[in-house]
Structure 1
Amino acid sequence: MSGGASKEGQGLLLAFASAAALGTNIVSAQIAGAAGLGGALLVFYRVLIMLVLVGAAALAAAAPLGLLRSERRPVALFGLATALVGTAYLSSVSFVPVSVAAVIFYTYPVLIVLAEPLLTPAPFRADRLAVALVAFLGIALVVGPDLHGLDPRGLCLAALASLAATAQFFAAAACAPIATMPKLFWSHVVILPVALAIVALTGGFLPPQAFLLAPIAVAVTYGGYLVGFVLQILALARIAPGPAGLAFCAEPIVAVAIAAVLLGERLGALQYAGGALVIAALVANVILEQTRRRPVPA
């Protein structure tokens, strides 16, 4: 296997692992929210924890955190897009059901596939678009959107989150040559004031002691985010936005499966069928990427 193929294979594996970690994070955040710990509060503290951990790791390893002038813009764009994803998605569920917000949000893999030929040298691939559409249909069946209470504000915010996630993947790809620690640190420096503003606007600030209300859920939430975000950055440094976005369709499937096991949520036939569609799309994505990388016989 060539070095490029090996790198892309690693990227797919890292993307799947990131999706699994972030899927775990969703369920534990729901449990923490039921204990009175709002999403905005969790976002603020997880960003703060990431900054402290990355800063401490850089200090212990004597790793530089500085950015070249040419690196500042892509990192700032990545941080801004990441902040918008969390802000818009978190705010959307105040106006529409979570299921509706999730279905709108997970249009972003389709948007990535459509935008990739416009923003990168990659050609348009109809097979990848077909896989993305199948995955989206599967997610819609799994989440099972509740079509009641469709406030336009929530729909617009969920759509903004989808657009921001699309931008996040391309911004992360542009940051691929930058070392991981500076990328993590400075992107979260950008995210922190946005998260703090949300907490201030919602009036949901609580001291860290409040996490004792649901310590295990909080620990899993932060662990899932920290691991998932780091793996996402590592994945997007190795693989193009198109296949990476499709790999992240696994995230809601993992979340629903964990919710069924831990929270006792019952799954219907349509949800099982949707899960099968997403899994089929993920397998097809891997096969298509391997076929594309396979050298043509002379």
Structure 2
Amino acid sequence: MRTDGDVSHGQRGIALALASAAAFGTNIVSAQIAGMAGLSGPLLVFYRVFVMLALVGGAILLWRSGLSVPRRRWPALILFGISTALVGSAYLSSVAFLPVTVAAVVFYTFPVLVVLAEPLLTRTRPSLERIAVVLIAFLGVAMVVGPDWHGLDPRGLALALLASVAAAVQFFAAGALGETGTLPKLLWSHLMVLPVTLLILLLTGGMQPPSALALAPLAVLVTIGGYLVGFLWQVLALARVSPGPAALAFCAEPVFAVIIAAAVLGERVGALQYAGGGLVVAAIMTNVILEQKRVRASKLALAPPA
């Protein structure tokens, strides 16, 4: 039977998802700055994997953590690792062919995909309320980033769409790894990210030595740091809340990105963007309320008759 502890557990999950979105919002702005210095998206992904593996390896040695993963969870873990590699490489590469605003709008179709697919892939019942909320959130995202659809390159659209589909797959795969320890998830998934990203770099001819990171050291540091923190919080969030509510929380990422871009890069924020941000915030708050109602309804349904 579910208890009030389940409600607070879900609330912590959504809070972690929002914190992760903020970290990733910082990450995309600094990745754009690094890209201007000649550092490609897959290259940043490749080197940040090394940092993640070093930190996770140190934590495993320090805490003497086990690395075992239940055999039945390995298919989900493999899917999680491959989708993680594709999300990072495809999304950060799409901005080489598209304006960041367009790439963001295409990529942030993934919460819509997650909410629509959730009833088919999990035991979650279909909810018209949640579909309406995610569409409102997506509209808010489109208003925040204010896309310029002129001169679109189909390569960029394909990469951003691939990243969106991979992100949806990543959320469901992570949700299927609930009882797997955090450190094994991080270690094994990034050991899979490494060869996938290396293959992409070799195929595109984008491999550069570590010394190339000195072209934009601060941007690289923020990009890697934002990713490390954001990914950890994302994994922790998806162990506490189902993919649909978590994906909706990630609609806040471009809002954070625009705020950070305005503060750091001096980009102007207009009334339409403020209104879009308000829609996203309202959608996330509604999402929290709907999740609390769902958990309480489940608790009542499972309670023994008086």
Task: Give matches, 1:105-116, under 5 Å.
Answer: 105-116=107-118
Whole-angstrom CA distance in 2 between matches of 1:215 and 1:96: 24
Deviations 1:95-114 (A, max 9, x none): 33222221111011111111
Is the Cα contact below 8 Å between 2:103 and 2:157 reproduced in 1? yes
Deviations 1:117-172 (A, max 9, x none): 10001001111111100010011111111111223332222222111111110000
Is the Cα contact below 8 Å between 2:70 and 2:180 reproduced in 1? no
**Distance apart, 1:275 and its partner CA:** 1.0
Whole-angstrom CA distance in 2 between matches of 1:13 and 1:94: 32
Give the aligned residue type for 1:59.
L
Whole-angstrom CA distance in 2 between matches of 1:120 and 1:224: 30
- Change beyond 3 A, Cα 1:160–1:212: closer
Match of 2:151 among 146, 149, 152: 149
**TM-score normalised according to structure 1 size:** 0.94
Name the SS for the 2:96 alignment partner.
coil
**Distance apart, 1:242 and its partner CA:** 0.6
Is the Cα contact below 8 Å between 1:97 and 1:149 reproduced in 2? no
Task: Give matches, 1:30-109, under 5 Å.
Answer: 30-109=32-111
**Distance apart, 1:59 and its partner CA:** 1.5
Query: Are 2:210 and 1:208 equivalent residues in the alignment?
Result: yes
- Change beyond 3 A, Cα 1:45–1:73: same
Query: Are 2:249 and 1:252 equivalent residues in the alignment?
Result: no
Match of 1:182 among 168, 184, 192: 184
Whole-angstrom CA distance in 2 between matches of 1:239 and 1:68: 21
Whole-angstrom CA distance in 1 between matches of 2:70 and 2:183: 14
- Change beyond 3 A, Cα 1:70–1:294: closer
Name the SS for the 1:41 alignment partner.
helix
Q: Which segment drifts farther, 181-190 or 267-276?
A: 267-276
Q: Which segment drifts farther, 229-238 or 38-47?
A: 38-47
Deviations 1:52-86 (A, max 9, x none): 21112111211122333222211101111111212
Give the aligned residue type for 2:116.
L
Query: Are 2:203 and 1:238 equivalent residues in the alignment?
Result: no
**Distance apart, 1:276 and its partner CA:** 1.2
Give the aligned residue type for 2:145.
V
Q: Which segment drifts farther, 148-157 or 40-49?
A: 148-157
**Distance apart, 1:87 and its partner CA:** 2.6
**Distance apart, 1:209 and its partner CA:** 2.7
**Distance apart, 1:94 and its partner CA:** 3.3
Identity %: 64
Is the Cα contact below 8 Å between 1:89 and 1:157 reproduced in 2? yes
Structure 2: 5+ residue stretches without partners? none
Deviations 1:171-212 (A, max 9, x none): 000011101111110101111111112222333333223333
Whole-angstrom CA distance in 1 between matches of 2:70 and 2:120: 27
- Change beyond 3 A, Cα 1:151–1:209: closer
- Change beyond 3 A, Cα 1:208–1:245: same
Whole-angstrom CA distance in 1 between matches of 2:94 and 2:216: 24
User: What residue number does 1:28 align with?
Assistant: 30
Name the SS for the 1:178 alignment partner.
coil
Structure 1: 5+ residue stretches without partners? none
Whole-angstrom CA distance in 2 between matches of 1:38 and 1:112: 28
